Amino acid sequence: MFLSNRRRLTPFNRKKQSAYVNLRRKRNWAVILTAAISLLFFFMISGSILALVSFAVFSKDLPSPDKLTNRKIDVSTRIYDRNGKLLFDVYKDVNRSIVKLSDIPKPVIDATLATEDAEYYQHGGFDILGILRAFKNIVLYHQLQGGSTITQQLVKTALLSNERSVIRKIKELVLSIEIERIYNKDQILQIYFNEIPYGGTAWGIAAASELYFGKNVKDLTLGESALLAGLPQSPTYYSPFGPEPQRARERQRYVLYLMENKGWVDKDGKRYFLSKEEADAARNQVLDYAKPGQTINAPHFSLYVKSLLTQKYGQDMVESGGLQVTTSLDLDLQNQLQDIVKSQLDKIKALKVGNGALVAMDPKTGEVLSMVGSKDYFGSPEPAGCTPGKDCTFEGNFNAALDALRQPGSSFKPITYATAFEKGLTPATLIMDVPTSFPGADGQAYSPVNYDGKFHGPLSLRNALGSSVNIAAVKLLKIVGIPSVISKARQLGITTLTDPARYGLSLTLGGGEVPLIQMTQAYAAFANQGKSVTPLYILEVKDSHGNVLEENHPVDGQKVFSPEVSYLISNVLSDDSARVLAFGPNSLLNIPGFSVAVKTGTSNDKRDNWTIGYTPSIVIGVWVGNNDNSPMDQRLASGITGASPIWNLSMKAYLKGKKDEPFVKPDNIVEMDVDSLTGMLPYAGQPTKKEVFIQGTQPTTTSDMYQTIKVCRVDNKIADQNCINQNQYDEKTFVVFHDPALQSEFQQDIQNFINSADGFKDNPIYHPPTETSTM
């Protein structure tokens, strides 16, 4: 029998051996634990050293975190209307507008936090758990979710490149920590909202709001906010303007899911969630997108304002300096008047009317409230195939309100009449509308005719101006002189009448070319009691930080005409009865219930048709014609078709809801009865009428046109003494016409008219005897 060498273990030995084994095991774990702790400390120290070394190494080449607020960034210049409504974003490559965090609605902030960085207010610039979560969601659930914090995204966008590398990532982490040290959370979030790209040229939430929804960021709804919050992850892929716009709605719904189910931590440290009712309402909201492409309101006006800014501040400042520009324009009024111009011009295409323009101005300040430069800025040139600038009747981008030099026709006459009133003539002054030949400087006689082709005989200046009689206006110009009228026109703001010798007496009939803006400006002075006004387009300009660069106020204009003369013009042009001769009663020039002065004008061959009218608070000028200056159809009738319907509807649109505003009547305007025919003191047995005068110009005698003659009954000749002695005579009153202001210069023309015109040639009252009786 073989005995084993192994010692047989007794119970005592077994217990002893077990204790030994346990001790050995404890010693082994202690060694392992010691080694692990030592290794951990080693890695911690090494990691710290490595981090410090990395920080030191990479910090040398890193941009300063201060650049977030100190560097120059391209910011769009924003042009607004007078009420803060956006007209135009001006930019070169990047469309960006700076907005304060306090002006960003809470739904935008909440949706962005829930989507991009729910624990933003809790971390110090980067979030390891967030990175791990993003990795898990991408791998396991195929959900696209960024692993970078908002701070990291800002660093990558504003301070670093989009390079994908470990080194760039380390730089990003280092800078994120530094930025969190320098700036507070709200400052970082504000910069983020102004820096992050949202697709296309839109950088920042303000530009994105305008691009996708055509509204100010403060007006965004929850549904719109959720859609925009989902864009920065991949702006092109999720763009509602892209090839698959449904992706934008899918992304929006995912953002709303995150807000409802995962929530976000706010600055108070609490986690918030969107209610199911709020999320459902946002999901079901119908999103009204802006039209793709850059939006520009009132394009002719906006681009003109841009040109003014460029002249003063330079192109670079305008395209990337972030100017905030408040203009004089009223966008709501502009849109109404633009629609009126287009719709009315569409109705008269058959009359060969290719284009039109409109200017509305506040006559007290000169502020341009509306400028319609053509019927459609974006319209194609007409007719199809025409050469722009040559034979096109319409070119949308041409600003006919500012740049078209056109003959104003009879709309120029009030300037001549005001000059005559200033020299003592009155609305009651009689003038003879008869065929008249005026000697010209070149030896050729100038023989104007009236719009209707008729001559009306004796007229008051009131009716002559109201009914736009040409002969009367030419006679007045001859009385007051061409230099005087041109001087007044220049004082009123008309700068284009530079060659007096070229116009001659046709000047008063609109023989000199003038842009619509300047004719409207001239009429504004009549509404402004004789003081000139300067068109004002820009009210205020601020830089991108809100500092005021310029603030424009109305300039106290030059006194061109007295308030009394201006009142006479306004009183005549607002008198519907004074224009009955040409337009009939209650024409489109009459605005029932309102005191409105208005004048029309038509140039030769009906190449231009104008209507300009005003109240004390608004002046509206309208021109229609063709860009190539070709004639319109001769059937176009001033005061009925063309400019007048546009003016009528535009004036009514402005006056809607407003009270009548009578023209201010100066204290030294007097009203009195005068003889209806001659405008002098009432003559026995003759009808009278009311008329207004400037104190000192009212008549003090009866007219010398009334002549009482003793006529011998036998032969109807002037009674001789013999006829008188035999009491064979009658005293008869005759009317002998002449132009009181012109003396006898055109007396033969007047007599020729009396001898040949119906209503005069056979009426004995106008033919006094010239021979003495010999019976």
Using pLDDT thresholds of 50, 70 and 90, give the confidence band for residue 558: very high
Q: Cβ(423)–Cβ(480) under 8 Å?
A: yes
CA angle 752, 753, 756 (to 5 degrees): 85
CA separation, residue 335 to residues 57, 299, 327, 347, 580 (Å): 60, 11, 15, 19, 33
pLDDT tens profile 345-358: 999 999 999 999 99
DSSP 484: H
Report the pLDDT averaged over residues 261-273: 94
Q: What is the CB-side half-sphere exposure of residue 415 using CA atoms within 13 A?
A: 34
Pairing of strands 202-203, 95-96: parallel
Q: Which amino acid is at 772?
A: T
- Mean local confidence (pLDDT), 22-33: 60
Q: Are 331 and 85 in contact (CB under 8 A)?
A: yes
Q: Is the pLDDT of residue 611 over 60?
A: yes
pLDDT at residue 385 in the model: 87
DSSP 73: -
128 pLDDT above the threshold of 90: no
Q: Would you state the pLDDT for residue 148?
A: 82
Distance CA 181, CA 22 (A): 52
Rounding to the nearest 10 degrees, give the CA dihedral for residues 587, 591, 597, 600.
-40
Q: Are 482 and 501 in contact (CB under 8 A)?
A: no
Element of type H or E holding 40: helix 11-59
At residue 103, the pLDDT reads 93
Rounded (to 5) percent helix, strand, coil in the chain: 40, 15, 40
Residue with token string 């080694």: 35
Using the structure block, give the residue that is written with the tokens 């109240």. 615
Q: What are phi and psi of 667, to 5 degrees?
A: -65, -35
Please choose, from the candidates 215, 220, 379, the residue with its C-alpha nearest in 3D space to the C-alpha of residue 290.
215
User: Tokens 């055509």 — which residue?
Assistant: 214
Length of the chain: 775
Q: Taking the CB of residue 212, how many other CB atoms lie within 10 A of it?
A: 25
Report pLDDT for 29.
60
Q: How many CB atoms lie within 10 A of CB 49?
A: 10
Q: Which of 65, 75, 83, 287 has the alpha carbon at shortest distance from 176? A: 65
Comparison of pLDDT for 257 and 174, the residue scoring more? 257
Q: What is the DSSP string of 415-427?
A: HHHHHHHHTT--T
Provide the CA 159 distance to its chain's centre, in angstroms.
39
**What H or E segment, with its residue span, contains residue 289?**
none
Q: Which of 405, 407, 343, 330 is nearest to 371 (CA)?
A: 330
Rounded Cα distance, 325 and 381, in Å: 31
Cβ burial, residue 528 (10 Å; 0-12/13-18/19+): buried
Residue 678 has pLDDT above 70, yes or no: yes
Q: How far is CA 96 from CA 78, 191, 202, 207, 211, in A?
A: 9, 12, 6, 5, 11
Buried b (16+ CB within 10 A) or exposed e, 13-36: eeeeeeeeeeeeeeeeeeeeeeee
Quick check: 164 and 148 in contact, CB under 8 A?
A: no
d(CA 775, CA 773): 6
Q: Which two tokens stand for residue 474?
A: 């030419």
What is the DSSP annotation of 301-368? HHHHHHHHHHHHH-HHHHHHB--EEEES--HHHHHHHHHHHHHHHHHTGGGT--EEEEEEE-TTT-BE
pLDDT over 90, % of the chain: 68
Distance CA 685, CA 682 (A): 9
Distance CA 338, CA 649 (A): 11
Say whether pLDDT at 45 is over 90: no
Residues 6 or more apart in contact with residue 667 via CB below 8 angstroms: none
Report DSSP letters for 180-238, one per residue: HHHS-HHHHHHHHHHHSEEETTEESHHHHHHHHHSS-GGG--HHHHHHHHTSTTSHHHH
Q: What angle do CA 692, 697, 698 make, to 5 degrees?
A: 55
Distance CA 190, CA 177 (A): 17
Render pLDDT for 393-432 as a digit per residue (tens, 0 to 9).
999 999 999 999 999 999 999 999 999 999 999 999 999 9
The per-residue pLDDT for 209 is: 93
pLDDT confidence of residue 291? 79
Tell me what pLDDT residue 338 has: 98
Which pLDDT value is given to residue 20?
52
Neighbours of 633 (CB within 10 A): 13
CA distance 716 to 705: 20
Determine the pLDDT at residue 4. 39
Q: Taking Cα atoms as reference points, which of 226, 219, 154 lies closest to residue 189?
A: 154
The rounded distance, in Å, linking the Cα atoms of 73 and 57 is 28
pLDDT given for residue 191 in this prediction: 87
Who's near 361: CB < 8 A, 6+ residues apart? 367, 368, 369, 520, 521, 524, 533, 535, 618, 619, 620, 621
Q: Tokens in use for 707?
A: 């002549």
pLDDT surpassing 80 at residue 41? no
pLDDT for residue 217: 94
Assigned token pair, 138: 């991408």
Phi and psi angles of residue 642, each rounded to the nearest 5 degrees, phi first: 85, -125
CA pair distance 156, 66, nearest whole angstrom: 15
Q: What is the pLDDT of residue 256?
A: 97
Tell me what the mean pLDDT of segment 656-667 comes to.
97
What is the pLDDT at residue 423?
96
Q: What is the pLDDT of residue 337?
A: 98
pLDDT tier at 15 (50, 70, 90 boundaries)?
Answer: low
| pLDDT (tens digit per residue) in 559-599 | 999 999 999 999 999 999 999 999 999 999 999 999 999 99
What count of Cα atoms within 13 Å lies in the side-chain half-sphere of residue 457?
17
Over 60: is that where the pLDDT of 11 sits? no
Burial per residue of 353-378, b for 16 or more beta-carbon CB atoms within 10 angstroms, e otherwise: bbbbbbbbbbbbbbbbbbbbbbbbbe
User: Three-state SS for 157?
Assistant: helix
- The tens digit of pLDDT for each residue in 55-112 reads 445 444 555 555 556 556 778 899 999 999 999 988 877 788 888 999 999 999 999 9
pLDDT at 165: 58
SS3 734: strand
